[in-house]
Amino acid sequence: MNILLIGSGGREHALARSLSASALCQRLFIAPGNPGTAQHGTNVVLDVTNHQAVIDFCRTMAIGFVVVGPEAPLVAGLVDDLTAAGIKTFGPSKAAAQLEGSKAFTKDLCAEFNIPTAAYRRFTDAETAKTYVRNYGVPIVVKADGLAAGKGVVVATSFEEAEAAIDMMIGGGLGAAGAEVVIEAFLEGEEASFFALCDGANAIPFGTAQDHKRVFDGDEGPNTGGMGAYSPAAVLTPQLQARVMLEIIEPTLKGMAARGMPYKGILYAGLMLTKDGPQLIEYNARLGDPETQVLLPRLNSDLVEALLAAVDGKLNSVSLNWSDKAALTIVIAAKGYPGTVEKGSEIRGIDKAETLDDVIVFHAGTKLDADKIVANGGRVLNVTALGSSITDAQARAYDAVSRIDWPEGFCRSDIGWRAVERERG
């Protein structure tokens, strides 16, 4: 069948690589894609906010399956419109994508279905919210209800900080996303990500990962979309993973089905591993970026078959085969990221890095300028390596990074430190 993939980042390069490797994939199109996805299919210019244009393209090119990478088209209901037009599409409906699009929705679901998460209250009035914080104490966490591109969460250690966050969010600093805030208890523990592939009624594990959100070594500096990641996350032992399935993922699927919005797609659970067990910090309704760049290179099974089984409600007959190898990815970003960056500088040496065994350089924010690869965004490359352990994958990935010649870029030098320390024992 012909497949259309929506998105343009490193996640989509990793998806394009795995989709095109499937025996079921005839032609792969990526809208809009990047020079990395173009190695695996045909990039096309399509306005994905215009759902009718996407439907028309699918009809013209005889697309049998659409895979949606990022959250914005999910929250905008692209899956609903394509499905209504008879085009098989992977990803949650608009209603089900509220698990990512509305923190208040998710917290209410957790409360109703007994899913472990931080205690919380919802507020639309700033003064009431501040009074609550004063009575509750700090640390406390203030979250905008809606999608806020990583700016919607403030872990406040003082009343002043909490009050400033409330004023900023309810005052319109994040647009409509902050009109309502969720205020929740501060959870202590180690963070890890758990992925599940869901078909509305059944879920199967889709790997574990940990990422580095802060821009500088030692997990310092401002938050980013992620400066690196690795998989598996050994901290999520098989026993803890079984608890996550039983206590978090399965009740979520039951709850969503009970609300008439069955969840189909990838459910990405951000977890805090507290002394009382795993607690849900947040859900994403899609694969992570850069987590996908370490999950998919470890998947031995046919990705298209697995995603189709999820759409068709047939996951109970699927079991996935994962490599025993570990994977680690290092994000090379343009200097200045996560602030403003310059575009257009030339990147050399990607081919040299890829001559190493088990190394893949995913393109995240690049562009082709004549025959040169140039920087075209904040996070630019994701240098990924497989290895016998995280320690081995880390060494290979940094070896690959050293072969890339791009003076205008930078990366962290300690991606995976927590896992490497754990492996050292």
* Site map 181..220 versus ligand GLY, x via CB under 6 A: ------------------------------x---------
* Site map 82..121 versus ligand AMP, x via CB under 6 A: ------------------------------------x---
Among the listed residues 199, 282, 291, 302, the single contact to ligand AMP using CB under 6 A: 282
Q: Which residue has the tokens 């951000």?
A: 270
Contacted entry of ligand GLY, ligand AMP, none for residue 141, CB cut-off 5 to 8 Å set by kind: ligand AMP
Q: Which of residues 126-155 bind ligand AMP (CB under 6 A)?
A: 141, 153, 155
Is residue 281 within the footprint of ligand AMP (CB under 6 A)?
yes
Between helices 417-424 and 390-402, what is the axis angle to 10°?
140
Size of the site for ligand AMP (CB under 6 A): 11
Considering beta carbons, is residue 9 or 262 the nearer one to ligand GLY? 9
To ligand GLY, the closest distance from the beta carbon of 290 in angstroms equals 6
CB 122 within 8 A of CB 105: no
Q: What are phi and psi of 152, to 5 degrees?
A: -95, 10
Measured distance CA(34)–CA(42) in Å, rounded: 10
CA torsion through residues 233, 235, 240, 246, sign:
negative
Measured distance CA(253)–CA(259) in Å, rounded: 10
Considering beta carbons, is residue 289 or 408 the nearer one to ligand GLY? 289
Token readout for 74 is: 């999910």
To ligand AMP, the closest distance from the beta carbon of 184 in angstroms equals 5
CB 351 within 8 A of CB 317: no
CB 106 within 8 A of CB 270: no
Contacted entry of ligand AMP, ligand GLY, none for residue 410, CB cut-off 5 to 8 Å set by kind: none
Which one of the spans 9-17, 183-191, 310-318, 394-402 is the region binding ligand AMP (CB under 6 A)? Answer: 183-191
Is residue 392 within the footprint of ligand GLY (CB under 6 A)?
no
Question: Half-sphere exposure of 31 toward its Cβ, with a 13 Å CA cutoff?
Answer: 21
Q: What are phi and psi of 6, to 5 degrees?
A: -100, 130
Q: Which of residues 273-332 bind ligand GLY (CB under 6 A)?
A: 284, 288-289, 291
Measured distance CA(335)–CA(407) in Å, rounded: 9
Contacted entry of ligand GLY, ligand AMP, none for residue 211, CB cut-off 5 to 8 Å set by kind: ligand GLY
Question: Half-sphere exposure of 424 toward its Cβ, with a 13 Å CA cutoff?
Answer: 7
Considering beta carbons, is residue 40 or 103 the nearer one to ligand AMP? 103
Is residue 184 within the footprint of ligand AMP (CB under 6 A)?
yes
Token readout for 313 is: 């409600």
Question: Half-sphere exposure of 254 toward its Cβ, with a 13 Å CA cutoff?
Answer: 12
To ligand AMP, the closest distance from the beta carbon of 204 in angstroms equals 23
The residues of the shown chain that bind ligand GLY, judged by CB under 6 A, are 211, 225-226, 284, 288-289, 291
